[in-house]
Structure 1
Amino acid sequence: MKTILYSSILLILTFFTGTHAQAQHHTKHNYVVLTKKVPQLQPILITAEKLKEEDGANFGNFEVIICGKEIGDVTDPSKIREFISKAEKLGVQLVACGFSLNKFKVDKKAVPKKMKVVENGILYNFQLQKKGYKSLSL
């Protein structure tokens, strides 16, 4: 009787341990980067590309939030067009901080349509971190 009981416990533990390990293995890796300068998108997007290669099927979402006094650069096609194109190819979401747009009097209508605008970029960053996103601020 003891043998059956111990065998049953061992079988159950093996099943749950194996299931837990599989669940961890298939977890998506999500990333968020907060930056103040559009030119920093170059190394950020290179990083996203490398992480996408490394993570393979486990690569999840990658978002880049642009905040600060240079937010107006997102409305200059010569400064942002190439980055939007590369981000789109990589599946990276570019995000403009609405608080910065308002503070520095940048017309939200001038923000490229392919960019997401959030009310407060810093708050949005924290909200993504609470969802498990790995975060970096530059």
Structure 2
Amino acid sequence: MKRSIIYLSAICFLFIGTTALKAQDFNPKKNNYLILSKNIRQIEPVLLTAHELAAEDNEEYGDFYVIICGKTVKDIPNNEDLKRLLEKAKARHVSIFVCGISLSKFNVSPEDLPENLTIIENGILYGLQLSKKGFITLTI
């Protein structure tokens, strides 16, 4: 009986130790960033952040994505300030997406959106999928 407990304990410790090593070994080749935002007014500071991170990361800088979700999608159509920021985002290689579920919920037509904006079906799901791929995420 004592041997069974010792063997079982050893197997558990071996498994836990191996799991910890796997987590420590994860090292993406690039630093990829994702911002999930419920406020389009945050895009300008996000672009400043992306610029600083690109300079800081240098060769290790990867992708920078912003997903706009929630009620703020109502503020997107005919927003000249946003159009200007989208051009700035494009120049800085920042991809901006909008949640299709939010568009539907708040009755915003995709035809009313600027061309530089990409619609994804489910912003939260997409954000979680990117997190699983190693993106550094922040919700604001």
Aligned equivalents of 2:71, 2:27: Cα separation in 1:
41
Amino acid at match of 1:105: N
Shift of 1:74: 2.0
User: What's the counterpart of residue 61 of structure 2?
Assistant: 59
User: What's the counterpart of residue 116 of structure 1?
Assistant: 118
User: What's the counterpart of residue 5 of structure 1?
Assistant: none
Amino acid at match of 2:94: V
Shift of 1:133: 0.2
Shift of 1:80: 0.8
Q: What count of residue pairs does the alignment treat as equivalent?
A: 115
- Give the gaps of 5 or more residues in structure 1: 1-23
Tell me if structure 2 keeps the 8 A contact 1:45–1:87. yes
Which 4+ residue blocks in structure 1 deviate beyond 3 angstroms?
A: none
Tell me if structure 2 keeps the 8 A contact 1:73–1:80. no
Identity within the alignment, %? 39
Aligned equivalents of 2:87, 2:104: Cα separation in 1:
25
CA gap 1:25/1:135 in 2 versus in 1, 3 angstroms: closer
Aligned equivalents of 1:25, 1:107: Cα separation in 2:
40
Q: RMSD in angstroms over aligned alpha carbons? A: 1.6
Matches within 5 A, 1:1-138: 27-138=29-140
Shift of 1:26: 8.2
- Normalising by structure 2, report the TM-score: 0.78
Shift of 1:27: 1.5
Tell me if structure 1 keeps the 8 A contact 2:28–2:134. no
Aligned equivalents of 2:64, 2:74: Cα separation in 1:
22
Tell me if structure 2 keeps the 8 A contact 1:34–1:125. yes
